[in-house]
């Protein structure tokens, strides 16, 4: 904040005016009118684009609905059908695998690089910015196109492996590997959690490290006994955020599989299947039921994180 | 004190990681300038002979020019930025400075919406916009942001406003300024760093957004850059890699340019909002 020219309006300071009348007792809230005035756009948006759609979506999930004809009430049929829909079960399997593999990979990479950067290195700004760039561009179609080419049969990765005499697989075309290219793509985007870890590391009290050095603690002991526990609030924050993000991943799976989730549904992430059902075959009631299940699952994950936080997140000031 | 030697080791490790991360992007840019038959023949990202053929053929390969796609993307992104900055700052002022009934309740609800997967509202929103006849226009992409749809930015600005000394508002209030005056002449000027972070992030996120645009835009003349590129991928599959890679680079240029201009502010912004 360097250019605060706007505050000049306030000068010179006013000293000889009576204080503004205090009317605490009569009205508990001083700015009801102004408050709701300023809040109005958000409030309207909240109802129009979030709350009412949520309720509407719950209703749609209990109907058969193809957008063009009126929704037809079928009770819990959609939910029941979900659990006998093999593609749906496959999409759950794929998504859980993706979340469980990509989130720890991303956070581990973020933490390692952050710790490596946090030594008062020169050129910190350059490193930070460059490591951050992929997470900024990662959601784009262009990066997914790039990834698809790199992992293709004659792509960059296999050329690199060829240097060591290893013959690489067809990573994108082989159902055993396709998902792992998506996991790697997520890992590649560790920049955002890295920045958050880095900011946390800067605030750690130095005296603990000095004490540990005097006690002759090794680097690993210091990391696991001091750094990691002190950083646990940031680990928690990143874990929640990245898990929610991972559940919603769509673009890379869509681009890499040509919008189909293949080969043989190995990259059929939840959101991709939801899109195919809702907008591909216009089964919007069914897709709404899927959306509600996703909402509940993410809520469940978040709740478990918060519940477990008491055991491992260190909130000592 | 850490030794110089350990610094060198850290640099060495970091540079290896960095090169591995950046190599794909360098390769992408290099490949886009290579003749088609050399793209997959070598790991060397530098083209032996630079050609613009991929850009020329790719630019119009889908039947609609990338000029149209890029123009649409810029229109959507800029409108979203303006809408988002305006609506979120107003809401943030209310949350950070005004004392009104149920404030805590609304604030909690606002934080809650940040965790809401947007798929949860995708279908009902689509139904609403479909019935308004807004599908295949930019309205469904922009109008929600006019009403502070993305709570993340409200939160970001609330945190920032809380850091502005209250004495400044109070002094202005003593001068007879109402809330509107205080907001425009005290808070907004001081909020500039947060507004800039919001502008940059909103621009990049909107420009790179795919699912929402895929759902709402169906006409090639309305397609944004990601949709145009995707249409290219659908059509090309196997034939014209050069053009596809060139157009990938083209769609990345605006966001990378914004990043390069603003990277310092952006990196600081992300680091500080992450930890409150």
Task: Supply the DSSP string of B178-207, one letter for each residue.
Answer: -HHHIIIIIIHHHTHHHHHHHHHHHHHHHH
A44: closest chain B residue by CA: B147
DSSP-assigned letter for residue A174: -
Burial tier of A60 (Cβ tally within 10 Å: 0-12, 13-18, 19+): buried
Interval A39-66 mean pLDDT: 93
In A124-207, where do the E strands start and end? none
What residues of chain B lie within 8 A of the CB of A133, using their CB? 256, 259
Sign of CA dihedral A192, A198, A303, B154: negative
Interface test with A, best of B12, B31, B98 (most A CBs within 10 A): B98
Helix (H), strand (E) counts: chain B = 14, 0
pLDDT of residue B262: 87
Q: Where in chain B is the domain with CATH 1.10.3720.10?
A: 64-274
Contact across the interface for A292 and B237, Cβ inside 8 Å: no
Contact across the interface for B115 and A288, Cβ inside 8 Å: no
- Give A268-303 pLDDT, tens digit per residue: 999 999 999 999 899 999 999 999 999 999 999 989
- Give B58-108 pLDDT, tens digit per residue: 888 888 889 999 999 999 999 999 999 999 999 999 999 888 889 899 999
Break chain B down into helix, strand, coil percent, rounded to 5: 75, 0, 25
The answer to whether A21 contacts chain B (CB < 8 Å) is no
- Give A158-173 pLDDT, tens digit per residue: 788 888 878 777 888 8
Quote ipTM for the complex.
0.88
B151: closest chain A residue by CA: A42
Interval A173-178 mean pLDDT: 84
Interval A13-42 mean pLDDT: 68
Under 8 Å between Cβ of A268 and A87: yes
Radius of gyration of chain B from its Cα atoms, rounded to whole angstroms = 23
Nearest-by-Cβ selection for B210 from A36, A37, A141: A141
pLDDT of residue A21: 53
Contact across the interface for A195 and B267, Cβ inside 8 Å: yes
Contact across the interface for A41 and B87, Cβ inside 8 Å: yes
Contact across the interface for B127 and A67, Cβ inside 8 Å: yes
Interface test with B, best of A44, A123, A146 (most B CBs within 10 A): A146
A188: closest chain B residue by CA: B21
Contact across the interface for B113 and A10, Cβ inside 8 Å: no
Sign of CA dihedral A172, A178, A184, A185: positive
Contact across the interface for A140 and B251, Cβ inside 8 Å: yes
Nearest-by-Cβ selection for A244 from B117, B171, B205: B117
DSSP-assigned letter for residue B33: T
A146: closest chain B residue by CA: B28
Contact across the interface for A116 and B10, Cβ inside 8 Å: yes
Any bridge partners for residue A73, and if so which?
A63
Under 8 Å between Cβ of A114 and A194: yes
pLDDT of residue B4: 62
A13 vs B19, residue with greater confidence: B19
Res. A310: pLDDT tops 90: no
What residues of chain B lie within 8 A of the CB of A160, using their CB? 43
Fold of A84-312: MetI-like fold (1.10.3720)
Interval A75-87 mean pLDDT: 91
Contact across the interface for B23 and A156, Cβ inside 8 Å: yes
- Give A117-131 pLDDT, tens digit per residue: 887 777 888 888 889
pLDDT of residue B40: 76
Q: Where are the alpha helices (DSSP H) in B98-138?
A: 103-114, 119-131
- Give A197-208 pLDDT, tens digit per residue: 888 888 888 888
Integer Cα distance of A14 and A202 in angstroms: 40
Interface of A with B in 115-134 (CB under 8 A): 116-117, 119-121, 125, 127-134
- pLDDT bin (cut points 50, 70, 90) of residue A7 is very low
Q: In the structure encoding, which two tokens stand for residue B14, read together? A: 């970091």
Question: Domain B64-274, what architecture?
Answer: Orthogonal Bundle (1.10)
Contact across the interface for B209 and A302, Cβ inside 8 Å: no
How far is A50 from chain B, CA to nearest CA, in Å?
Answer: 7
Nearest-by-Cβ selection for A140 from B21, B208, B233: B208
B100: closest chain A residue by CA: A32
**Residue recorded with tokens 């581990």:** A108
Nearest-by-Cβ selection for A41 from B25, B90, B244: B90
Contact across the interface for A29 and B101, Cβ inside 8 Å: yes
pLDDT of residue B239: 66
Res. A115: pLDDT tops 50: yes
What residues of chain A lie within 8 A of the CB of B32, using their CB? none
Nearest-by-Cβ selection for B94 from A39, A125, A240: A39
Interval A183-192 mean pLDDT: 92
pLDDT of residue A309: 85
**Segments of chain B with pLDDT less than 70:** 1-6, 236-239, 271-276
Break chain A down into helix, strand, coil percent, rounded to 5: 65, 0, 30
Interface test with A, best of B100, B105, B170, B242 (most A CBs within 10 A): B100
- The candidate with the shortest Cα–Cα distance to B148, out of B178, B193, B109, is B109
Nearest-by-Cβ selection for B103 from A1, A35, A134: A35
In chain A, what are the domain boundaries? Answer: 84-312
A278 vs A314, residue with greater confidence: A278
pLDDT of residue A251: 93
- The reply to whether the predicted model has a pTM over 0.90 is no
């Amino acid at each position: 904040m360097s250019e605060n020219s706007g505050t000049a309006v306030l000068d010179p300071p006013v000293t000889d005016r009576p204080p503004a009348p205090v009317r605490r007792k009569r009205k508990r809230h001083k700015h009801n009118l102004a408050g709701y005035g300023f809040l109005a756009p958000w409030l309207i948006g909240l109802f129009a684009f979030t709350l009412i759609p949520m309720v509407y979506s719950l209703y749609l999930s209990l109907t058969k609905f193809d957008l063009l004809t009126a929704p037809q009430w079928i009770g819990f049929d959609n939910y029941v059908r979900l659990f006998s829909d093999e593609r749906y079960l496959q999409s759950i399997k794929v998504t859980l695998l993706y979340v469980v593999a990509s989130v720890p990979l991303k956070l581990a990479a973020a933490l390692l690089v952050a710790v490596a950067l946090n030594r008062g290195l020169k050129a910190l700004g350059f490193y930070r910015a460059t490591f951050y760039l992929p997470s900024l561009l990662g959601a784009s179609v262009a990066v997914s196109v790039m990834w698809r080419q790199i992992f293709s049969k004659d792509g960059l990765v296999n050329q690199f492996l060829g240097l060591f005499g290893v013959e690489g697989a067809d990573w994108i075309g082989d159902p055993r590997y396709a998902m792992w290219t998506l996991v790697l793509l997520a890992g590649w985007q560790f920049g955002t959690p890295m920045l958050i870890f880095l900011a946390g590391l800067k605030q750690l009290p130095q005296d603990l490290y000095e004490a540990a050095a005097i006690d002759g603690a090794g680097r690993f002991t210091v990391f696991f006994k001091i750094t990691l526990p002190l950083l646990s609030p940031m680990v928690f924050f990143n874990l929640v955020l990245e898990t929610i993000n991972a559940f919603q991943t769509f673009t890379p799976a869509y681009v890499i599989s040509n919008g189909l989730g293949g080969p043989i549904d190995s990259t059929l992430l939840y959101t991709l299947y939801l899109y195919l059902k809702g907008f591909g075959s216009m089964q919007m009631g069914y897709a709404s039921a899927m959306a509600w299940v996703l909402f509940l699952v993410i809520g469940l994950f978040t709740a478990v994180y918060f519940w477990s936080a008491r055991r491992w997140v260190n909130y000592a000031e | 004190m850490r030794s110089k030697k350990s610094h060198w080791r850290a640099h060495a490790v970091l540079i290896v990681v960095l090169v591995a991360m950046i190599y794909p992007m360098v390769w992408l840019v290099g490949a886009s300038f290579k003749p088609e038959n050399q793209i997959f023949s070598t790991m060397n990202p530098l083209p032996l002979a630079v050609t613009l053929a991929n850009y020329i053929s790719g630019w119009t390969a889908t039947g609609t020019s990338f000029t149209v796609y890029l123009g649409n993307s810029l229109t959507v992104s800029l409108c979203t930025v303006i809408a988002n900055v305006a609506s979120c700052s107003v809401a943030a002022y209310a949350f950070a400075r005004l004392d009104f009934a149920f404030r805590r309740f609304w604030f909690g609800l606002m934080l809650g919406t940040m965790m809401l997967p947007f798929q949860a509202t995708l279908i009902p929103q689509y139904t609403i916009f479909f019935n308004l006849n807004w599908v295949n226009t930019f309205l469904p992409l922009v109008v929600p942001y006019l009403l502070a749809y993305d709570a993340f930015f409200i939160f970001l600005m609330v945190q920032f406003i809380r850091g502005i000394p209250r004495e400044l508002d109070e002094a202005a209030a003593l001068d007879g300024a109402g809330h509107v005056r205080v907001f425009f002449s005290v808070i907004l000027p001081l909020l500039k760093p947060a507004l800039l972070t919001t502008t940059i992030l909103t621009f990049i996120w909107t420009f790179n957004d795919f699912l929402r645009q895929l759902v709402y835009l169906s006409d090639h003349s309305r397609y944004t850059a990601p949709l145009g590129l995707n249409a290219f991928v659908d059509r090309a599959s196997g034939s014209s890699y050069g053009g596809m890679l060139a157009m990938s680079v083209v769609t990345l240029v605006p966001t990378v340019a914004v990043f390069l201009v603003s990277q310092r502010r952006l990196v600081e912004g992300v680091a500080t909002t992450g930890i409150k």
